[in-house]
C-alpha cells in the first residue's frame, strides 16, 4: 500500500474529508451555543381579527436562546393549535429576530354543532360570538364532505340569486341526497345527483318560479320537492288535499 501512490492519495483525501466534516460539526455546535447571536425578538404578523394575542404570547413563552438554535418547526407546532390559526410561517431575520406570519381561518359556514368550515372548505373549531354564528349558513353532512358542501353552496347561491334568496342551511344526507332551507323558510328537496345534477333541478325551479310560486303572492309555502323529471311538488301552509 505504501508503494501505491493512488491508494495513498485516496487515503489522504478520505482523511482530509473526515477532518473537514469533524471541523464543520464542531463549528456548527459552537455557533449554535454561542452567546454572540442571542435571539432578541419574535415578531408576529398577519391580519388577525379573532386570534387571541395573549394566547399567542403564552404559546411562544420560553422560546429564546441562540438565533441559530431556535427550532422553527417547534415554533410552528406551538402556534398551530391556537384557536383561529389556519397556517403558520416562521423564518429567521438576521441578526436577532424570528418573524412569524399567521393566517387566520375565515369562517364560511357553521358545521353541524361542532365547529365551522372556512373559505377553503376546511373544518375547524374555534370560539365565536353568537351573533356572528347566526349570520353564517349551516352545513351538515358526513365527515369529509365539508369542501363539497362549500363548493355546492356557492353554486346554489348563484342559481338562487334571481329570486333574491340564499340557502341558510345545506344538508347532505348519508345517502348523498341534498336538501336546502332558504332565507324565507322554504325547504327544498333536491335529491341525489344522477343523470340530471341537482343544480339543474334547482335551475329549472328558479326559471319556473315567476309563473308558479311567484303567482301565490304572500302565500307561505313551506316545502318544494324537486325530485321529479318534469316538475315539482309543493306544500303550502294551510292548504290541504
Q: Which CATH number does the domain housing residue 87 bear?
A: 3.10.20.310
Q: How far apart are CA 94 and CA 187, in angstroms?
A: 59
- Whether pTM exceeds 0.85: no
**Residue 241 included in any domain:** no
Reply yes or no on whether the pLDDT at 19 is more than 70: no
Sort 84 into a burial class: Cβ within 10 Å, 0-12 / 13-18 / 19+. Answer: buried
- 172 DSSP β-pair partners: 178
Is 148 found in the same domain as 200? yes
- Go through the chain and tell me how many residues it has: 241
C-alpha cell at 239: 292548504
CA 5 to chain centre: 64
Asked if the model's pLDDT at residue 165 lies above 70, the reply is: yes
pLDDT for 241 beyond 70:
no
Dihedral sign (CA 118, 128, 125, 76):
positive
| Residue 200 grid cell | 339543474
- Whether 17 has a pLDDT exceeding 80, the answer reads no
- pLDDT at residue 156, rounded to an integer: 98
What is the distance of C-alpha 44 from the center of its chain? 20
State the total domains in the chain.
3
**Mean pLDDT score of the chain, rounded to an integer?**
83
Range of the domain at 49: 41-104
Percent of the chain with pLDDT over 90: 48
Give the pLDDT band (50/70/90) at residue 94: confident
Is there a contact between 154 and 175 (Cβ–Cβ < 8 Å)? no
Q: Are residues 204 and 151 in the same domain?
A: yes
Which of residues 75, 104, 133 is at a domain's end?
104
Asked whether 90 and 98 are in contact (CB, 8 A), the reply is yes
Assess whether pLDDT exceeds 60 at residue 23: no
182 and 217 part of one domain: yes
Task: Point out the least confidently predicted range of 66-80, 131-145, 150-164, 215-229.
Answer: 215-229
Question: Within this chain, do residues 133 and 227 fall inside the same structural domain, yes or no?
Answer: yes
pLDDT band at 111 (very low <50, low <70, confident <90, very high): very high
Q: Say yes or no to pLDDT of 174 above 90.
A: yes
Note whether residue 3 is domain-resident: yes
Does residue 138 surpass a pLDDT of 50?
Answer: yes
In a domain, 224, yes or no: yes
Confidence (pLDDT) at 29: 45
Alpha carbons within 13 A on the beta-carbon side of 98: 25
* Domain co-membership, 123 together with 222: yes
Amino acid at each position: 500500500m505504501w508503494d501505491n501512490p493512488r491508494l495513498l492519495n485516496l487515503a489522504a483525501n478520505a482523511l482530509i474529508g473526515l477532518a473537514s466534516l469533524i471541523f464543520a460539526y464542531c463549528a456548527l455546535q459552537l455557533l449554535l451555543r454561542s452567546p454572540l447571536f442571542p435571539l432578541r425578538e419574535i415578531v408576529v404578523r398577519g391580519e388577525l381579527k379573532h386570534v387571541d394575542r395573549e394566547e399567542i404570547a403564552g404559546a411562544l413563552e420560553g422560546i429564546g436562546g441562540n438565533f441559530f438554535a431556535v427550532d422553527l418547526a417547534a415554533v410552528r407546532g406551538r402556534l398551530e393549535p391556537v384557536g383561529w390559526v389556519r397556517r403558520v410561517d416562521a423564518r429567521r431575520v438576521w441578526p436577532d429576530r424570528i418573524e412569524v406570519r399567521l393566517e387566520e381561518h375565515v369562517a364560511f359556514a357553521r358545521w353541524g354543532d361542532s365547529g365551522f368550515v372556512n373559505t377553503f372548505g376546511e373544518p375547524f373549531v374555534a370560539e365565536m360570538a353568537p351573533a356572528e354564528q347566526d349570520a353564517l349558513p349551516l352545513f351538515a353532512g358526513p365527515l369529509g364532505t365539508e369542501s363539497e358542501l362549500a363548493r355546492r353552496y356557492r353554486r346554489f347561491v348563484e342559481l338562487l340569486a334571481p329570486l333574491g334568496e340564499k340557502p341558510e342551511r345545506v344538508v347532505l344526507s348519508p345517502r348523498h341526497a341534498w336538501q336546502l332551507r332558504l332565507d324565507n323558510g322554504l325547504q327544498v328537496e333536491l335529491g341525489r345527483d344522477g343523470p340530471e345534477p341537482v343544480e339543474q333541478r334547482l335551475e329549472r325551479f328558479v326559471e319556473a318560479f315567476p309563473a308558479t310560486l311567484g303567482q301565490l303572492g304572500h302565500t307561505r309555502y313551506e316545502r318544494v320537492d324537486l325530485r321529479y323529471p318534469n316538475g315539482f311538488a309543493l306544500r303550502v301552509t294551510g292548504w290541504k288535499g
